[in-house]
Amino acid sequence: MEALLSLAFDNLSSYDGPKIRKGLRQVEGLLAQICLSAPARSSSSSPTKAHHHHKRSDSKLSSVGDPNDGDRRNGGAETDDNDDEDSRGRRKSLSELSDDPAFREFFKLQEGFEWNVALRLINTLDRLMAKSADGQNDLLILGALDTIQGVLLLHPPSKTLFSREQNMNLLLDLLEPVNCPAIQSATLLTLVVALIDAPSNTRTFEALDGLLTVTSLFKSRSTPRDVKLKLVEFLYFYLMPEVPSIPRADARASVPAMLQRSPSKLAGAFRSNASRPGPGPHLPPASSAAAGGRPRAGSESENTLTTEEKQELLGRHLSSVEDLVRDLRTCTPFGGVL
């Protein structure tokens, strides 16, 4: 897997558009192999079969991003992508991911600086934004944003990258009116993924006048209707009460410390399977300091805001925030998932 990531990183670090596209497709191929089950593979596969399947996946990934394949966004690409997904198999559930050796290896590699995919994608996004705007460059930015979303969902600790002002500013810059509506919509979704279960990221967003950026775009007459709908969805999300990302009382030594700090469904999948052996190697145990519940200075539980507090902040830039809060409490727009 290190060889595949190294090849993808080399392409992502290029200033050449086709090479960047190839690097994005290589990362997408790696994530697809992790998240999708082979049609012929049953959930009760033995460790030996899983190991051989992982090797076959690596050999397939070496060909991902072939420049002769063409741009995946060409005409008819959506149908081809759906057909490819059907041929690769169904999506794995979170409980299956926690036992998957390929996912465990990927997660372990993401804990370090050298192989962290989100960091490389953010650097790529920064370089793309410095280039002149054109259709091909916009497609690369969209691809980078989509891939960042997937990586953050698979490795929640990487969200901490967006607690840095420089990285959060990249997303806010992409919301400027100079960017196309597709990029603005994709950026809003990436922003939601970066803020879920990450109060420190939300505080960075607020400190950089993120609320002003979002509300200004919403109030602008030139903003398309579909982008305004995305903005309303984002505001509903922002107003929801926050969950502190701190170790839980039921933390177990077999769950990585960084994962324990993210109360996501993925962390729950690890915890629910921690007591039973899986087909692949287990992740190293967490340190006693992280799992033992020692109080941390500036705990994130003190860094969370209630809906009422965020309503006051948002009210400085937007009227009728009370209506949004009322809808949030009566209509549950997210189905109570978040």
pLDDT in tens, 71-124: 444 444 444 545 554 555 677 776 777 778 888 888 899 988 889 999 999 999
Residue 162's H or E segment, with its range, is: none
Name the average pLDDT for the chain: 75
- Output 87 or 297, whichever has higher pLDDT: 87
pLDDT in tens, 13-23: 999 999 999 99
Of the listed ranges 101-110, 233-242, 299-308, 320-329, the least confidently predicted one is: 299-308
Helix (H, G, I), strand (E, B) or coil at 91: strand
Distance CA 274, CA 254 (A): 6
User: What is the pLDDT at residue 55?
Assistant: 47
Of the listed ranges 201-210, 219-228, 309-318, the least confidently predicted one is: 309-318
pTM higher than 0.75 for the full model?
no
User: What is the pLDDT at residue 332?
Assistant: 66
Q: How far is CA 174 from CA 44, 96, 130, 310, in A?
A: 45, 35, 12, 23
Distance CA 75, CA 177 (A): 27
Average pLDDT over residues 232-249: 76
| DSSP conformation class of 161 | G
Structural tokens at position 283:
């992740």
Q: How far is CA 1 from CA 13, 39, 41, in A?
A: 18, 22, 21
Structural tokens at position 176:
């400027």
What is the sign of the dihedral through the CA atoms of 278, 284, 285 and 286?
negative
- Output 193 or 2, whichever has higher pLDDT: 193
Distance CA 256, CA 271 (A): 10
User: What is the pLDDT at residue 260?
Assistant: 41
Is pLDDT above 90 for 323? Answer: no
